[in-house]
Amino acid sequence: MPSAIAELLPFTFGLIASPLPAVAVIVLLMARDGLVRAGVFILSWVVVAFVIAWAVSLITGDSVRSGGVPPDWTGWLRVLIGTAMLVFAGLAVHRHITREPDAPRRPPRWLSAAETMDTLDVIGLAVALSVLNPTTVPLLLGAGAAIGDLGLGTAANAGAALVFAVVGAAGLLLALGAAVGSGEHGRRGLERARAWLLDHDDVVSVTMLFVFGGLILARGLGVLAD
């Protein structure tokens, strides 16, 4: 298990730093019945992250246990994911450079609707920000592949994937704890955090895409070279 933790740390920190899920939790916390909605979002987020990471670990883990080393297709998968992340990062940088300096920033469309979402909408938002977010889904796939490479077995893979998903939600849980324990002062802090995350979403996302895209690409090339 210590080796699994070491393999998962980069992906876990990347998941914690992903800005849009944190923004979603903060917006939900400031809505009516915010604690319940935010709790549903976080639980859904953890479940989706766990399921994806575990499923990928089972697929790659079977190949590792049958041959003793990761097969070439897992290397090509990492190369594809890493390259896609670098391409997304480059496109984001291009959009930032070519945008008019005084052009107003458009917040995500779901942001204005988050305060009126029902439970099913909140679950759908958590799923969407897990599997459709280019800064998140590669981390889930990469973490699952890293777990599978260790050849731990089905139960141990599930444990490692669960730890990854729960710890990866630490930032979301921190926002929830701040709302519960700090009252009005915590609410003002959440508003400032939301504004900061939205203002710096591009920078954080591009940094994550470059760093983790390069990490996953390098790991894929390493598998192909073995």
Do 170 and 16 touch, CB atoms closer than 8 A?
Answer: yes
Do 198 and 192 touch, CB atoms closer than 8 A?
Answer: no
Question: pLDDT of 30-76, one tens digit each?
Answer: 777 778 888 999 999 999 999 999 999 888 876 665 555 667 777 88
What predicted TM-score, i.e. pTM, was given to this entire model? 0.81
| Torsion angle of C-alpha atoms 96, 102, 105, 106, degrees rounded to 10 | -110
Nearest to 77 by CA among 157, 12, 31, 144: 144
**Block residue for tokens 């998962």:** 8
Question: pLDDT of 109-162, one tens digit each?
Answer: 777 777 778 889 999 999 998 888 888 888 898 888 888 887 778 888 899 899
Task: Give residue 187's pLDDT.
Answer: 63
Would you state the structure tokens that stand for residue 36, as one six-digit string? 């319940």
Angle at 15 between CA 31 and CA 176, to 5 degrees: 30
% of the chain surpassing 70 pLDDT: 79
**Minimum mean pLDDT among 3-7, 116-120, 176-180: which range?**
3-7
Angle at 45 between CA 133 and CA 195, to 5 degrees: 65
Do 4 and 147 touch, CB atoms closer than 8 A?
Answer: yes
Output the average pLDDT for the chain: 80
Task: Give residue 107's pLDDT.
Answer: 64
Segment 95-112 mean pLDDT: 67
Residues 6+ apart with CB under 8 A from 65: 151, 153
Spatial separation of the C-alpha atoms in residues 25 and 21, rounded to whole Å: 6
Tell me the Ramachandran region of residue 104: left when phi exceeds 0, alpha when psi lies from -120 to 50, beta otherwise: beta
Do 42 and 180 touch, CB atoms closer than 8 A?
Answer: no
